[in-house]
Amino acid sequence: MKLNVNGEEKTVKDNPSMPLLWTLRDELGLTGTKFGCGVGICGACTVHVDGQAVRSCITPLATVEGKEIHTIEGLARIDATGSIALHVVQQAFIDEQVPQCGWCMSGQIMTAAAFLEENPTPNSDEIVEALGQNYCRCGCYTRIFTAVEKAARESAVQQPMESAT
Amino acid sequence: MTEKNTAESANSEEKQRWHLSRRRFLIGAGLAGGGLALGYLFGVPAARLRIAESTDEGGGGFFSQSNEPLAWFEVKPDSSITLYVPKVEMGQGVHTALKQIAVEELGAPWDTVTVMQGTTSLGPQDSSGTQGSTSVSSSFTPLREAAATLREMLRLEAVVQLKTPSGSLLSQGAGFTTTGGKSITFGEIVSNKVDAWEVPEGPAPLKSVSEYETVGQSITRGDIPGKVTGEAVYGYDVKLPGMKFGAVLRPPTIEGQLKSVDATTAEQMPGVVKVVVADDFAGLVANSRIEAWAALNELQAEWDEGKLWQQEELEELVTAGGPGGVTIQKKGNANRALNGGNVVAAEYRTPLMVQTPLEAQAALADVREDGARIWASTQAQSRVQELVSKATGLDQETIEVVPTLLGGGFGRKLGDVAVEAARLSKGSGVPVHLGWNRPEELRHGFFAPLSHHRLQATLDPNGRIQAIKHELGSGDILFAFFSPLLTAVFGADIGVSRGARIEYDVPDVETVIWRRKLPVKTGSWRGLGFLPNVFAVESFMDELANEADIDPLQFRLMNLPGTERGRKMGMVLEAATNGANWGGSLPDGRAQGLACAHDFGTSVAAVAEVSVDEATGKIRVHHITSAMDCGLVINPDGAKAQMEGNAMWGVSATLTEEVRIENGRVALNNFETYPLLTLKEAPTVEAILVNTGGQEPTGVGEPPIGPVGAAIANAVFSLTGQRLRNMPLSLA
């Protein structure tokens, strides 16, 4: 099977029922996507499929063939100078010193990034609703909320500038 | 990217050799490429050391102390300094905090110092593991002294090499300059050294608190960038070429014993490399995790299920009373004082709870005939080394355990998964990665024990507590890991007793613990007995305040002792209540409750603001104000992060977390049966640091959890008049 992962075509073992999570982690070595529960409750395994946040632990390979898959490793961009530019959500998570153990953070960030793409100017309730399906056992919730709010604010500032250029 | 998580050789060929100097410093020999290594034997109370030495022979190494240096520095010819630490990073920011302490005294630029995670073969050894809110407090003084001594050695050598008077030397980044314009770097100093290094006679001068520039700053954590890019490598992420995946058969019941296994079908399953059966262990190795888990279902096993325990039987078992109680606190004669009169009495219970770090247990084992390497997400690398040695028959010295980053620990990651991975690797002859899945994590580890608390007290007419008795029944926490000799030395479980003592000024007081052997495995959970005990004791304080008809804050302040500890507890109570506007107006349908406690030298208080859904009776915690005096604060933002996390843990445990035993089984499956707090239910948290003058740091990682449960129960009482005495709290 062929998968499009972070903009590259990857050939993986032909196993249509294999959860995407384990192909990403154990076959492609993209271990930034984390295993939490295996049943789609905790959100640690969240990746983007055609821009939508999905839980890769309950997503069979057959359903993502031919689609654009992005993992946390593919969220940052290489900017014009060739250096890595973190996604605004990643930067906000650093600025607010959000992660403790960090295991849930790829899922939190991927969930937030897809959410802000769809709703760039969310109110507080919408942020809580959107991030309210991701577990963080260390209990970084106050900072997760603050960071997503900050990312929303900053991408709102950036977007008009980008469209102007 | 794909190569990043390949487990690399830990360069363990040459174990550091140490030359013991005066003043308990150790100077390393045989450092490759020149350079200087300096270690320091941390001060260990002699009595504890002797206990540890005597019990180590019986295999009780965990929580004991070794004679190896607990931190060491290496100064390289390029002037970079590496600080090897045995403490593992599980999100508590310990590597950053320890670096702050070291850099303060070294005077080296922040970026020239690197903190390296030690392994069991490289860097300092620490058989106590990373636990109990002690990493920073126990390291503070020795680490400073070691850093200052290293700096002094470099300074004295610079004087020699520059042939300059001592007084003319000035600090300049990672080196020195002279008033005459000469300069030398740390790297040049160590490279040019010809004779042996010696530790100066007298103690090196240490900075005073008022001179600190790095300690006390909210320096950003070094482990965070890799955690937002996906590059950070945890135990579940490590890999080796040729690595296969393991799975282990679990008993159906808490007392289940394996009788026999028929592997015929499992061996034919796709991807299966090897089925490993030995004594009470059965597992298999396959080409992928999914194949391993699928094949496990085909292992035909017969079990002796043991007694089919029920929840009610465990609760009965843990009930305090009868013979065998161990008194851990006694002043005056509480029994006599409580015999007659107007005695206030109440009983409280807390349930089995599970740590369930979001990264499940994981380890990679490569067991060969002549030795083994283990990469593990563990809080106790020395214990892993010891357990793997027992399981494989290899000498401990031939086993290197490399701790990875931990996706949460909370007392759970003490090494059982590494032993299983080692057995599978030994049985199959290939490197095996074993990662538990969530049902295993919820059912097959060990749990915070159930506890039962009976409290009785009398009050004088002014609302002062006259007599109080706390009777506590609990399953094992630390005794689960102690040898019989060590349990005899301690008498009562020092994990169970955390927070059990009455901190108030009472003429007649007694605290008694009954150790109850439970049929289910119990052990450490964040804060050990601290949350359960403070839930009981501080709920009871509120009941006494209500009986005396005195505001709960005033009641506590008037009953706290006039000691240093009493003063600190009063200060955090005042900070928390000021922050929460205690007694001020609240939105309709809300009420506040408070609680305070003391643990690991740290005073903590919490105010909870709650409401109750009238239709469902569901309790909602809107806000937690948490105040803490942890002495000298190394990294304020890091300390606040721990307070926030503890608040969430406390709310989650108090409102929802409970493990029940039904028909001999842990009645859990996946998170749908053990839901954790989410952002939707999370309170906002205000974290207030109070330093009432401490010159040294005390514990931070667990103490703030203590008062959260009682603060919530007290708020619910204030709102509804209903006193909830069992965790998790339920108004239904």
Q: Taking residues B151-173, report their average pLDDT.
A: 90
Name residue, tokens 């006599």. B336
In this complex, the residue of A28, A98, A135 whose CB is nearest that of residue B358 is: A135
CA B520, CA B64: separation in Å to the nearest integer?
25
Q: Taking residues B384-397, report their average pLDDT.
A: 94
Residue of chain B minimizing CA distance to A30 = B2
Q: In one letter, which amino acid is B576? A: A
Name residue, tokens 């915070």. B448
Residue of chain A minimizing CA distance to B672 = A41
Residues 275-314 of B with CB under 8 A from A: 288-290
In the predicted structure, residue B66 carries a pLDDT above the cut 60: no
CA A148, CA A144: separation in Å to the nearest integer?
6
In the predicted structure, residue B51 carries a pLDDT above the cut 70: no
CA B703, CA B136: separation in Å to the nearest integer?
14
Residue of chain B minimizing CA distance to A23 = B288
For residue B121, what pLDDT is reported? 77
Q: Taking residues B672-701, report their average pLDDT.
A: 94
In the predicted structure, residue A108 carries a pLDDT above the cut 90: yes
Q: Within 13 Å of residue B59, how many CA atoms lie on the same side as its CB? A: 10
Contact A90 B229 (CB under 8 A): yes
Shared domain check, B454 and B417: no
Q: Taking residues B381-409, report their average pLDDT.
A: 94
> Binning pLDDT at 50, 70 and 90, where does residue B25 land?
low
Shared domain check, A87 and A59: no
CA A100, CA B359: separation in Å to the nearest integer?
12
For all residues of chain A together, what is the average pLDDT? 94
Domain boundary pick from A43, A74, A105: A74
Residues 672-701 of B with CB under 8 A from A: 672, 676-680, 682, 684-685
Shared domain check, A150 and A126: yes
Residue of chain B minimizing CA distance to A146 = B684
In this complex, the residue of B90, B437, B652 whose CB is nearest that of residue A101 is: B90
Shared domain check, A134 and A112: yes
In the predicted structure, residue B572 carries a pLDDT above the cut 50: yes
B464 touches A at CB < 8 Å: no
- Chosen from B88, B227, B234, B433 to mutate, greatest number of chain A CBs within 10 A: B227
Shared domain check, A70 and A59: yes
Shared domain check, B690 and B551: yes
Q: Could you tell me the residue range of the domain that residue A66 belongs to?
A: 2-74
Domain boundary pick from B203, B228, B253: B228
Query: Taking CB atoms and an 8 Å cutoff, what residues of chain A touch B223?
Result: 99, 102
Domain boundary pick from B412, B434, B456: B434
All residues at 6 or more sequence positions from B191 whose CB lies less than 8 Å from its CB, including other chains: B34, B35, B77
Residues 106-165 of A with CB under 8 A from B: 106, 109, 128-129, 131-145
Shared domain check, A153 and A88: yes
Query: Taking CB atoms and an 8 Å cutoff, what residues of chain A touch B233?
Result: 31
Shared domain check, B99 and B23: yes
In the predicted structure, residue A163 carries a pLDDT above the cut 60: no
Shared domain check, B648 and B568: yes
Residue of chain A minimizing CA distance to B92 = A100
Shared domain check, A148 and A87: yes
Residues 70-89 of A with CB under 8 A from B: 71-73, 75-76, 86
- What is the CATH number for A26? 3.10.20.30
Residue of chain A minimizing CA distance to B438 = A37
SS (H, E, C) B139-183: HHHHHHHHHHHHHHHHHHHHHHHHCCCHHHEEECCCEEEECCCCE
CA distance A34 to chain B (A): 8
* CA-closest candidate to residue B153, choices B43, B42, B26: B26
Domain annotation covers residue B727: no
In the predicted structure, residue B611 carries a pLDDT above the cut 90: yes
Q: Based on the structure, what is the number of domains in chain A? A: 2
Q: Taking residues B552-565, report their average pLDDT.
A: 97
CA distance A12 to chain B (A): 13
Helix axes B552-559, B530-548, angle to 10 degrees: 100
Contact B641 A36 (CB under 8 A): no
Domain annotation covers residue B731: no
User: In this predicted structure, which of A104-118, B64-78, B217-231, B503-517 has the lowest mean pLDDT?
Assistant: B64-78
* CA-closest candidate to residue B272, choices B256, B254, B287, B293: B287
Shared domain check, B507 and B408: no
CA B98, CA B228: separation in Å to the nearest integer?
22
- What is the CATH number for B452? 3.30.365.10
Q: Taking residues B444-471, report their average pLDDT.
A: 97
Contact B229 A72 (CB under 8 A): yes
For all residues of chain B together, what is the average pLDDT? 89
CA B465, CA B475: separation in Å to the nearest integer?
29
| Helix H or strand E segment including B650 | helix B636-655
Shared domain check, B288 and B174: no
Domain boundary pick from A74, A91, A112: A74
Shared domain check, B466 and B411: no
For residue B70, what pLDDT is reported? 52
For residue B55, what pLDDT is reported? 31
> Binning pLDDT at 50, 70 and 90, where does residue B452 land?
very high
In the predicted structure, residue B409 carries a pLDDT above the cut 70: yes
User: In this predicted structure, which of B7-11, B19-23, B153-157, B210-214 has the lowest mean pLDDT?
Assistant: B7-11
Contact A103 B357 (CB under 8 A): yes
Q: Establish, for the pair of chains A and B, how many residue pairs have beta carbons separated by less than 8 Å.
A: 180
All residues at 6 or more sequence positions from B229 whose CB lies less than 8 Å from its CB, including other chains: A32, A72, A73, A75, A76, A86, A90
Residue of chain B minimizing CA distance to A110 = B228
CA B656, CA B682: separation in Å to the nearest integer?
12
Shared domain check, B488 and B422: no
For residue B34, what pLDDT is reported? 57
pLDDT digits (tens, 9 = 90+) for B411-445: 999 989 999 999 999 999 999 999 999 999 999 99
B648 touches A at CB < 8 Å: yes
Contact B357 A32 (CB under 8 A): no
Shared domain check, B283 and B193: no
Q: Is B129 helix (H, G, I), strand (E, B) or coil?
A: coil
CA B385, CA B395: separation in Å to the nearest integer?
9
Q: Could you tell me the residue range of the domain that residue B645 belongs to?
A: 319-353+446-720
In the predicted structure, residue B684 carries a pLDDT above the cut 90: yes
Residue A142 φ then ψ, to 5°: -65, -35
Residue of chain A minimizing CA distance to B408 = A101
Q: Are B137 and B604 in contact (CB under 8 A)?
A: no
Q: Are A127 and A148 in contact (CB under 8 A)?
A: yes
For residue B27, what pLDDT is reported? 62
Shared domain check, A113 and A50: no
Domain annotation covers residue B441: no
For residue B26, what pLDDT is reported? 62
Residue of chain B minimizing CA distance to A91 = B228
Domain annotation covers residue B729: no
In the predicted structure, residue B56 carries a pLDDT above the cut 60: no
- What is the CATH number for A99? 1.10.150.120
Contact A102 B680 (CB under 8 A): no
CA distance A54 to chain B (A): 17
* CA-closest candidate to residue B684, choices A153, A123, A124, A110: A124
ipTM of the complex: 0.95
pLDDT digits (tens, 9 = 90+) for B176-189: 999 888 999 999 99
Query: Taking CB atoms and an 8 Å cutoff, what residues of chain B touch A98?
Result: 224, 228
A32 touches B at CB < 8 Å: yes
B410 touches A at CB < 8 Å: yes
Contact A29 B358 (CB under 8 A): no
Shared domain check, A102 and A59: no
Shared domain check, A155 and A86: yes
Shared domain check, B178 and B71: yes
> Binning pLDDT at 50, 70 and 90, where does residue B106 land?
very high
Shared domain check, B660 and B566: yes
Query: Taking CB atoms and an 8 Å cutoff, what residues of chain B touch A144?
Result: 679
**pTM for this prediction:** 0.92
Q: Based on the structure, what is the number of domains in chain B? A: 3
Domain annotation covers residue B259: yes
Domain annotation covers residue A165: no
Q: Are B636 and B218 in contact (CB under 8 A)?
A: yes
Domain boundary pick from B166, B193, B228: B228
CA distance B31 to chain A (A): 33
In the predicted structure, residue B17 carries a pLDDT above the cut 80: no
Shared domain check, A45 and A14: yes
Q: What is the DSSP string of B458-522?
A: EE-TTS-EEEEEEEEEE--SSTTTS-HHHHHHHSS-TTTTTTTS--S--SEEEEEEEE---SS-B
Strand partners, B456: B345, B469
Q: Which residue has the higher pLDDT, B606 or B198?
A: B606
CA distance A66 to chain B (A): 22
For residue B114, what pLDDT is reported? 93
